[in-house]
């Protein structure tokens, strides 16, 4: 389906801008509370917690193991784009509707104490009144979503935003572990995160577009979801029924990030008449964040509709 005109009778929220199917990376390959410190400050770790000194200096030192054949959903977004909070909010929602969400302990080597700790603390973190702060940053996590009887549905990967897109070095090769994930035989879903009015300037947004457009062509068969995060920060783009105006948000993103959707246009002359793009587009909000005097953020989860629609999109890609 192509972008529809807005229609107040339709929330503009439940329909897909694009749908299922393989994508076309058209371009050829060009390329919980109460945690114990003593953790160094994030700044002292190059802004990324959960990495050893060597890994901070060279992300290519990072070793990950994905042993489960379940589809891998990669949360692809810049630093502070809301990857962790999306993971937490989705976990809360999935648990509420009967799924189990469990960190995959074998994803990182056993000597990685920080990873071991955040795996253990993950349930507490997901139900904390506060957003994760400096000592509890989840920058690296593979969580498995299991159905009621323990069957894996998919695995969600969150990793440091800098490894996907580093504004200081936008053309940098992906670290080895991401390249490895690109080679897995697991089905893959790329969840590309965008935001309205994001980035310091147009140059930065253009660089992010380039990064996505230059993804290797061997990912052509992977599935794609674009999620527009932090929609709550733009109350002017909501409909009278309190739902975000999905079609307008889609247009805003298309304008903010020129060309971002081009590689994913449906080139089939017949099906493109009713489905212009080979991806789903989901507006998302994790909730509200209120700063405290002590420098933390009280986190109030948002409406279920957001994780519900995100999960619907994920299910469609992993099952489709």
Residue nearer to Mg ion on the CB measure, 189 or 286: 286
Task: Choose which of 130, 134, 289, 296 interacts with ligand GDP (CB under 6 A).
Answer: 289
Q: Structure tokens of 57?
A: 């200096």
Stretch that binds ligand GDP, among 25-33, 49-57, 170-178, 227-235 (CB under 6 A): 227-235
Contact 277, 17 (CB under 8 A): yes
Q: Across-strand partners of 190? A: 74, 224
- Asked if 169 is part of the footprint of ligand GDP (rule: CB under 6 A), the reply reads no
- Asked if 296 is part of the footprint of ligand GDP (rule: CB under 6 A), the reply reads no
Q: Is 179 helix (H, G, I), strand (E, B) or coil?
A: helix
- Asked if 125 is part of the footprint of ligand GDP (rule: CB under 6 A), the reply reads no
Task: Choose which of 18, 24, 71, 82 interacts with ligand GDP (CB under 6 A).
Answer: 82
Stretch that binds ligand GDP, among 16-24, 170-178, 261-269, 283-291 (CB under 6 A): 283-291
Binding residues for ligand GDP, rule CB under 6 A, total 18
- Asked if 310 is part of the footprint of ligand GDP (rule: CB under 6 A), the reply reads no
Task: Choose which of 21, 45, 81, 84 interacts with Mg ion (CB under 5 A).
Answer: 84
Q: Distance (Å, rounded) from C-alpha 164 to C-alpha 309?
A: 24
Buried b (16+ CB within 10 A) or exposed e, 272-307: eeebbbbbbbbbbbbbebeeeeeebbebebbeebbb
Find the shortest distance in angstroms from Cβ 178 to ligand GDP.
15
Stretch that binds Mg ion, among 79-87, 203-211, 239-247, 262-270 (CB under 5 A): 79-87
Q: Across-strand partners of 157? A: 74, 142
- Asked if 81 is part of the footprint of ligand GDP (rule: CB under 6 A), the reply reads yes
Q: Distance (Å, rounded) from C-alpha 24 to C-alpha 277?
A: 10
- Residues 34, 39, 42, 48, CA torsion sign: negative
Task: Choose which of 230, 234, 246, 275 interacts with ligand GDP (CB under 6 A).
Answer: 230
């Amino acid at each position: 389906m192509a972008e529809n005109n807005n229609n107040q009778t339709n929330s503009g929220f439940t329909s897909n801008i694009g749908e299922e199917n393989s994508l076309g990376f058209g371009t050829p390959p060009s390329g919980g509370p109460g945690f114990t410190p003593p953790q160094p400050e994030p700044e002292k770790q190059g802004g990324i917690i959960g990495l050893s000194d060597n890994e901070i200096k060279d992300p290519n030192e990072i070793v990950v193991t994905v042993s489960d054949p379940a589809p891998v959903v990669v949360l692809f977004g810049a630093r502070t784009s809301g990857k962790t909070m999306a993971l937490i909010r989705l976990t809360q929602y999935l648990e509420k509707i009967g799924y189990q969400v469990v960190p995959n302990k074998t994803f990182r080597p056993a000597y990685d104490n920080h990873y071991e700790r955040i795996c253990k603390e993950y349930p507490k973190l997901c139900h904390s009144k506060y957003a994760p702060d400096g000592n509890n940053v989840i920058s690296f996590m593979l969580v498995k979503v299991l159905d009621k009887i323990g069957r894996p549905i998919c695995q969600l990967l969150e990793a440091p935003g800098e490894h996907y897109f580093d504004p200081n070095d936008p053309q940098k090769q992906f670290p080895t572990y991401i390249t490895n994930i690109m080679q897995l035989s697991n089905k893959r879903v790329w969840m590309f995160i965008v935001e309205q009015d994001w980035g310091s300037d147009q140059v930065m947004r253009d660089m992010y577009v380039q990064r996505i457009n230059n993804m290797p062509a061997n990912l052509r068969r992977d599935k794609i979801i674009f999620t527009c995060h932090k929609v709550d920060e733009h109350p002017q783009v909501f409909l009278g029924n309190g739902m975000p105006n999905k079609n307008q948000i889609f247009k805003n993103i298309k304008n903010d990030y020129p060309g971002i959707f081009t590689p994913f246009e449906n080139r089939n002359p017949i099906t493109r008449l009713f489905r212009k793009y080979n991806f789903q587009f989901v507006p998302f909000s994790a909730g509200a964040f209120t700063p405290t005097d002590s420098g933390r953020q009280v986190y109030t989860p948002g409406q279920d509709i957001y994780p519900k629609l995100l999960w619907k999109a994920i299910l469609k890609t992993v099952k489709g």
